[in-house]
A and B are shown apart, each in its own frame.
Chain A
């Protein structure tokens, strides 16, 4: 089943068309890879889907609903979480506080009480509510084997752990769909292996994962399906095996033979 799709999504900055009529779809339960040379428009596509940027033309459908141009916080609340290419943690806050922020809207509104009464209620039952948020955050840290460093400031973590913390924070929002923007960038081989194990574990939680990555070993070994972008346009789509043999893709990455 298609969880998310874009229809002819286009984002132009003046004359530069960063993403050009891209039809990108994500099947539920699979790990989808998004690859392409630098400047191909991968991150722009992510930003347009997750609401940090709005498409010039085209539509974004999530579970069949049109979410084109919705603000980022609403998209997150619908169940799409993301991480960033250059880590965007709340650096001065502790590890556990970072994850707790991911739980923000989970206690914000109640079906029976509505918004205002719930706010009053939260104010009165502050301690209990905070405890729930804290415990859920700790569960996620446990998932990443990071309970031991929960009171460290985020900026003091080693680089690989910062990347993992960002994923933990995104998962704390209980997403259905998780976007990872170059999760392995700057990681050493051991850290990358650990990351691959984590991504598989996330898939096993029934969370659909989409990742942008340049590390081909990682992409080819864990992705079920891969979409290739080049110069803002979709170049190919298929299984890792198909992509590896695709002549257009090889040309985009390595250049044409006999050119």
Chain B
């Protein structure tokens, strides 16, 4: 059972990376995007293909996954800039489905629905990070989450974070304050996408195989739920949200009650929690993070 808990923590880490990216796009930029699964898949397949076909090490594939996802973030970001709210959600949802369908059908590159197996394990200075024993992988993953958190947190406290907030609050006023809203919206997409690509790389290195079935629309929805549950515009909350949602997802298996609680139960609980949250605490568990300014430094 403890082993199972470690598994939950690993998925928390992978999803937390995606949730951090989603928080930049939705929490700060105010854009309702449903496409993290697409970037997640691109990252996973970049690592899987480069590692199995070209024999690259995981560490070489990681930046490629991030940059490739960022590039697709730019591609999806530019044409959908004018869309808002539900229209943006539908357009981005479409992108996620396109990615999955391409992966399913481009047999020569992705091996279609069969996916890619035998992805080599990660090695750090000759030490093999075996995902079956989990500890080393978990430590490495959480270092990555921590670094991503620090980088994003710093960004959020800078001019860029404030500019994105302004764009979310009022686009017209933001433009009139000299903020290039197009640029910041695209930045948000690029950043959100690249960190999801990194999450995808870790996913591939953890399961050691990838197949299109993993990267469904539900992944994007779960990531969005994590951000909303934790609190939009708060990176700590995104990580907390990732943990809670993963815990709920695996609750029946974790407690060994699969005989009594069917696995489908999680979806009921999931929906219930969101409904309750929206009624009683729409700002999320932790709420939006507020920066306190004072003379002699920010903190």
Interface residues of A (CB under 8 A from B): 50-52, 71-73, 76-77, 81-82, 84, 88-94, 96-97, 100-102, 104-105, 107-108, 122-123, 126-127, 129-131, 133-135, 138, 151, 169-170, 173
Counting CB contacts under 8 A, is B177 at the interface? yes
Contact of A131 among B158, B166, B296 (CB under 8 A): B296
Residues of chain A within 8 A (CB-CB) of B292 are 151
Q: With A107-B159, A126-B157, A127-B298 in contact, do A89 and B173 touch (Cβ < 8 Å)? A: yes
Interface contact B176-A90, CB-CB below 8 Å? no
Interface contact A101-B177, CB-CB below 8 Å? yes
What is the minimal beta-carbon distance from A155 to any residue of chain B, in angstroms?
10
Residue with the highest number of chain B CB atoms closer than 10 Å, among A81, A97, A122, A135: A97
* Least CB separation from B174: chain A residue: A101
* CB contact list, B215-235 vs A, under 8 A: none
Interface contact A76-B158, CB-CB below 8 Å? no
Interface residues of B (CB under 8 A from A): 154-155, 157-159, 162-163, 165-166, 169-170, 172-181, 288, 290-298
* Bound CA span A100–B293, Å: 11
Residues of chain B within 8 A (CB-CB) of A102 are 177
* Least CB separation from B288: chain A residue: A92
Residues of chain A within 8 A (CB-CB) of B162 are 97, 100-101, 104
Residues of chain A within 8 A (CB-CB) of B298 are 126-127, 130-131, 134
Interface contact B178-A105, CB-CB below 8 Å? yes
* Bound CA span A93–B175, Å: 17
Contact of A101 among B172, B179, B288, B296 (CB under 8 A): B179
Residues of chain B within 8 A (CB-CB) of A101 are 162-163, 165-166, 174, 177, 179
Residues of chain A within 8 A (CB-CB) of B155 are 123
Interface contact B178-A88, CB-CB below 8 Å? no
What is the minimal beta-carbon distance from A201 to any residue of chain B, in angstroms?
21
* Bound CA span A96–B181, Å: 21
What is the minimal beta-carbon distance from B124 to any residue of chain A, in angstroms?
27
What is the minimal beta-carbon distance from B159 to any residue of chain A, in angstroms?
6
* Least CB separation from A87: chain B residue: B173
Residues of chain B within 8 A (CB-CB) of A71 are 175, 180
* Bound CA span A92–B174, Å: 14
Q: With A73-B180, A90-B166, A134-B295 in contact, do A129 and B175 touch (Cβ < 8 Å)? A: no
What is the minimal beta-carbon distance from A118 to any residue of chain B, in angstroms?
11
Interface contact B169-A91, CB-CB below 8 Å? yes
* Bound CA span A158–B247, Å: 45
* Bound CA span A60–B3, Å: 69
Residues of chain B within 8 A (CB-CB) of A93 are 165-166, 169
Interface contact B175-A72, CB-CB below 8 Å? yes
Secondary structure of the A side of the interface?
A: helix
* Least CB separation from A83: chain B residue: B176
Residues of chain B within 8 A (CB-CB) of A94 are 290
Contact of B293 among A52, A91, A134 (CB under 8 A): A134
Residues of chain B within 8 A (CB-CB) of A73 are 175-181
Residues of chain B within 8 A (CB-CB) of A133 are 159
Q: With A129-B159, A130-B158, A134-B295 in contact, do A104 and B177 touch (Cβ < 8 Å)? A: yes
15 example contacts (A-B, Cβ-Cβ < 8 A) are as follows A52-B175, A72-B175, A73-B177, A73-B179, A76-B177, A81-B176, A89-B170, A90-B173, A93-B165, A101-B177, A104-B179, A105-B178, A123-B154, A169-B177, A170-B177
Interface contact A77-B178, CB-CB below 8 Å? yes
Top 3 closest pairs, chain A to chain B, by CB: A72-B175, A76-B178, A90-B169
Interface contact B297-A127, CB-CB below 8 Å? yes
Residues of chain B within 8 A (CB-CB) of A76 are 175-178
Known contacts A71-B175, A108-B159, A129-B159; 19 additional CB pairs below 8 A are: A71-B180, A73-B180, A73-B181, A76-B175, A76-B178, A88-B172, A89-B173, A90-B169, A91-B169, A93-B165, A94-B290, A100-B293, A104-B162, A104-B177, A104-B179, A127-B297, A130-B297, A131-B298, A170-B177
Residues of chain B within 8 A (CB-CB) of A138 are 295
* Bound CA span A101–B177, Å: 7
* Bound CA span A134–B157, Å: 12
* Bound CA span A133–B293, Å: 11
* Least CB separation from B298: chain A residue: A130
Q: With A88-B170, A89-B173, A123-B158 in contact, do A104 and B165 touch (Cβ < 8 Å)? A: no
* Bound CA span A71–B154, Å: 29
